[in-house]
Structure formats: structure tokens, C-alpha cells
């Protein structure tokens, strides 16, 4: 399987999962990639059999393979995320339409949650990013699809410092930024929320034989947060439970990729 090395903990996680899979008769090994683009290419060329993909890497895999990929599993925390478009409380911006002529702080240029999906929502509201409003990117670790929270934090800081009129952050990160003091809940408010969307999934090529993917998924779905052997690893990976994948939650991102001709 492949994973993107957005943080040193990725080694801890997968090195830790290896004996767990081995013990249950579904041995795995992992290859780390420095970008999702490299991982998608490796998955489609058969260098790896499973890719732990960001939502954008999933969309790209489907575009390049003409729909010949399957999503096989995801975390409970990958479902029904929303992105908040925030404004300062003291501004006179009442809705997305008021962002015409304003400055919007977003995450890395390839972040689904902090850039592509919310900018597409903005376009839906009639404000064309880059044309009707100024977009300020916070490019932390481009190629890693916004996995590093730094880009979103920088966007939140830009809003707090008055360098932007709005900022786009994932709902869970909004709480993080308030708790750590990056944002003052008394000084910011939620201007709009995107509809729920899904995040990462394990992607395989559609022609990967079932006997290769099935044992992997079975072990994954059988994993329990209550099990001391994997508790630390699940904490690090940010989930309580692995779930079967669904692909209904990528519609907004697919539209954004098409709208902004991201892979054109």
C-alpha cells in the first residue's frame, strides 16, 4: 500500500499496523510518497495495490483511469465534513455574495477542504474566485492536498490579523483554532457552511482481484479502538472506527476540480 509522508508520524502509524495485519493473515508493507500525484501514478501503474488517498487524489485517480478505480474503506472521521467560511464579527459582510471585491484567505492551492470546495461554494453564490474577489493562498506543503493543518492555520491568522475579509477552514479545525487561541470566538463568526463532503479513502484499481483487497479490508474493519494493540495508532490516524468506503461524498470536489480546470 502507499501513503503520503506529510508527517513523520506516518511511519509510526504504518510500521505499527504492519504486525497487526501480519498477525491476522493479511500481511502488508507500505511505500511512502512525497506527493499524492506520485502516489496516484504508482497506484494506477500497479507499483502499489492500495493507495491511502486524499479526496483530491481519489478524484484524480478516477479522472486518469476513466472511472476504473474503487474506494474500499475510510475512517469514520472522513464522513460528512463541512468547511466554514468565517468572517470577523465586526465586519458588515452578511453573506457570501458580500465577498465581492473582498480578500478570501484559503489553505494550500490543492487543499480540497480549505480551498477547492469552499471556493466552489463561493462561485455557486455568484462570486468568481480570482475575478470577483481576491484569493490569498497559504501554500504549506503543496502536493500533500492540505493534509498539513498549517495552511489553514495561516488562513485563520490572516483573518484574525485583518489581512483577509474571510477565511476557509474545516469545521474540526475551527474548534482547534479557537481552543489554541488562533481565533477568538468573540471576534469571528460563521458566514457560511458548505454541505457535508467526505475526505480520504483507500483506493484500488477496479481490476485488482478481490482476493487481494478483501483480506486487507476485513482486517481494517475489524480493528477496534478498544484494542490496546492499535489504540495509539488509531489516535494518531484520527479515527475511532474504519468504515466501508462510499463515494457519494465527493460530488462537491468533482465539481470544483471541473470548474477550476484543476487537472485540465
Partner 1 sequence: MPERFPKAQLDLEDLTIHEGAPVLLRRALAKLAVGELLELCGDSPELAEGLAAWCRKEGHRYLGEGKGPNTHRIERRAGLAPLMAAGSDIAEVADPHWGLAPRGARIEAGGPEFAFTLRHKREIWAQELSSIYKQAVGNQWSAARDIPWDKLPKLPDEVESAVCQIMTFLTENEFAALYIPARFIPRIHPHYREVVEVLAVQIVDEARHAEAFTRRAEAGGGGVGTTAVSSQLSLQTLVEEPDFTTATFLLCVMGEGTFLTLLKFLEEHAPESATATLARLAHRDEARHVAFGMEHLRYVLEREPERRASLAAAVEHRSRMLAAVSGLSPYVHDALTVLAGRGTSPRQVREGARRVAALHREMDRARRERLQSLRFDAGEARTLSAYHTKNFM
Give the binding range for partner 1 (CB under 8 A) out of 96-104, 116-124, 172-180, 243-251: 172-180
Task: Identify which of residues 40 and 183 has a Cβ nearer to partner 1 in the complex.
Answer: 183
Contact 102, 93 (CB under 8 A): yes
Taking every pair of Cα atoms in the chain, the longest distance, rounded to a whole number of angstroms, is 60
List the one residue out of 86, 37, 7, 51 whose CA is nearest residue 203. 51
Task: Identify which of residues 184 and 218 has a Cβ nearer to partner 1 in the complex.
Answer: 184
In the complex, the smallest distance separating the C-beta of residue 194 from partner 1, rounded to whole angstroms, is: 11
Rule CB under 8 A: say whether 244 interacts with partner 1. Answer: no
Strands (DSSP E) along 106-262, which ranges? 134-136, 166-170, 188-193, 201-205, 242-244
Among 61, 82, 111, 213, binds partner 1 (CB under 8 A): 82
Task: Identify which of residues 218 and 229 has a Cβ nearer to partner 1 in the complex.
Answer: 229
Distances (CA, A) of 29 to 2, 10, 11, 18, 263: 9, 13, 11, 7, 30
Cα torsion 17, 18, 20, 24 to 10°: value is: 140
Task: Identify which of residues 142 and 230 has a Cβ nearer to partner 1 in the complex.
Answer: 230
Residue found by looking up cell 474571510 in the block:
166
Give the binding range for partner 1 (CB under 8 A) out of 28-36, 73-81, 112-120, 143-151: 73-81
Task: Identify which of residues 46 and 95 has a Cβ nearer to partner 1 in the complex.
Answer: 95
Looking from the CA of 169 toward its CB, the CA atoms found within 13 Å total 30
Task: Identify which of residues 32 and 172 has a Cβ nearer to partner 1 in the complex.
Answer: 172
In the complex, the smallest distance separating the C-beta of residue 196 from partner 1, rounded to whole angstroms, is: 8
* # residues contacting partner 1 (CB under 8 A): 25
Euclidean distance between CA atoms 87 and 189, whole angstroms: 6
Burial tier of 92 (Cβ tally within 10 Å: 0-12, 13-18, 19+): exposed
Among 142, 172, 208, 243, binds partner 1 (CB under 8 A): 172
Rule CB under 8 A: say whether 91 interacts with partner 1. Answer: no
Site for partner 1 in 179-238 (CB under 8 A): 185, 190, 193, 196, 225-232
* DSSP annotation of 5: -
Q: Which residues bind partner 1 (CB under 8 A)?
A: 76-77, 79-82, 171-172, 174-175, 178, 185, 190, 193, 196, 225-232, 240-241
Amino acid at each position: 500500500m502507499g501513503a503520503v509522508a506529510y508527517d513523520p508520524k506516518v511511519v509510526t502509524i504504518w510500521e505499527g499496523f504492519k504486525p497487526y495485519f501480519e498477525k491476522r493473515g493479511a500481511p502488508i508493507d507500505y511505500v511512502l510518497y512525497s506527493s499524492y500525484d506520485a502516489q496516484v501514478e504508482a497506484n494506477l501503474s500497479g507499483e502499489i495495490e492500495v493507495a491511502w488517498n486524499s479526496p483530491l487524489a481519489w478524484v484524480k485517480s478516477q479522472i486518469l483511469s476513466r472511472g476504473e478505480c474503487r474506494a474500499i474503506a475510510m475512517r469514520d472521521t472522513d464522513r460528512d465534513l463541512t468547511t466554514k467560511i468565517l468572517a470577523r464579527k465586526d465586519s458588515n459582510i452578511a453573506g457570501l455574495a458580500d465577498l465581492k471585491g473582498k480578500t478570501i484567505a484559503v489553505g494550500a492551492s490543492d487543499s480540497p477542504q480549505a480551498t477547492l470546495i469552499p471556493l466552489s461554494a463561493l462561485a455557486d453564490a455568484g462570486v468568481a474566485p480570482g475575478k470577483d474577489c481576491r484569493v490569498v493562498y497559504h501554500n504549506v506543503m503543496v502536493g500533500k492536498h492540505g493534509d498539513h493543518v498549517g495552511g489553514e492555520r495561516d488562513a485563520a491568522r490572516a483573518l484574525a490579523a485583518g489581512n483577509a475579509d474571510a477565511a476557509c477552514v474545516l469545521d474540526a479545525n475551527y474548534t482547534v483554532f479557537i481552543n489554541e487561541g488562533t481565533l477568538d470566538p468573540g471576534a469571528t463568526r460563521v458566514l457560511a457552511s458548505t454541505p457535508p463532503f467526505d475526505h480520504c479513502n483507500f483506493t484500488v484499481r477496479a481490476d485488482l482481484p478481490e482476493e487481494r483487497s478483501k483480506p486487507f479490508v476485513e482486517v481494517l474493519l475489524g480493528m477496534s479502538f478498544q484494542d490496546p494493540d492499535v489504540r495509539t495508532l488509531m489516535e494518531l490516524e484520527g479515527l475511532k472506527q474504519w468504515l466501508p468506503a462510499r463515494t457519494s461524498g465527493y460530488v462537491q470536489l468533482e465539481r470544483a476540480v471541473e470548474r477550476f480546470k484543476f487537472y485540465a
